[in-house]
Amino acid sequence: MVTGREALCYNMKMKKIIGIWAEDRKGLIGSNNKLPWHLPAELKHFKESTMGQAILSGRKTFESMGKRALPGRVNIVLTRDRDYQAENVVILHDKAEVLSWYKQQDKSLFITGGAEIFRLFEDKLDGLVRTIVDGEFKGDTWFPVDFDFDKFSLVDSSLFHADEKNPYDFEIFTYQRLSN
């Protein structure tokens, strides 16, 4: 299940920086350093979308996933801690370092959150892969409320219905940045 991937066209010649996340109806993305829901089909979509590419997460998100690199992808973690260590990840310390890493290689870079990292890279995103989960949850971390979606155009959407393993409907929206 991959949605809108063709539209974003992230092959070696057309690498892009893409924000990818899931939010609830009110923009909630996290609760106590975890996802507020359990939706295996949405995780499968994340895996298929990012496989073979590079993913960037903030140190808190990385630790929320058990401080483990996701297989089949270049995992980059952003932290201000110069002594930070983790296995099988590229550890970078500021936005400029990330952009310089991105320039010298051929993979697309998925910005995978959390909120601090989406805010930091908003101006660099070529595309967005946004899941809206059809529910309202309790939590403590929201996608940036002032994110400017007007700078992007919607190019694809797909609705997934709840089933026995996935208790909520969710819809995946793919956007491309409008050219200036």
Ligand X SMILES: NC(=O)c1ccc[n+]([C@@H]2O[C@H](COP(=O)([O-])OP(=O)(O)OC[C@H]3O[C@@H](n4cnc5c(N)ncnc54)[C@H](OP(=O)(O)O)[C@@H]3O)[C@@H](O)[C@H]2O)c1
Question: Which residues, 55 to 114, sit near ligand X by CB under 6 A?
Answer: 57-61, 64, 78-81, 93-95, 112-114
- 134-163: contacts with ligand X (CB under 6 A): 141
Nearer to ligand X, 18 or 115 (CB): 115
Q: How many C-beta atoms lie closer than 10 Å to residue 28's C-beta?
A: 22
Can the peptide bond before residue 58 be classed as cis, meaning omega within 30 degrees of 0?
no
CB 53 within 8 A of CB 107: yes
CA atoms within 13 A on the CB side of 36: 23
What is the closest distance, in whole angstroms, from the C-beta atom of residue 13 to ligand X in the complex? 28
Q: Please, which residue, 8 or 28, has the CB nearer to ligand X?
A: 28
- Window 35 to 54, contacts with ligand X (CB under 6 A): 35
Cα–Cα distances in angstroms (integers) from residue 19 to residues 130, 131, 163, in the given order: 8, 11, 27
Q: Give the interface with ligand X as residue ranges (CB under 6 A).
A: 21-22, 29-30, 33-35, 57-61, 64, 78-81, 93-95, 112-117, 120, 141
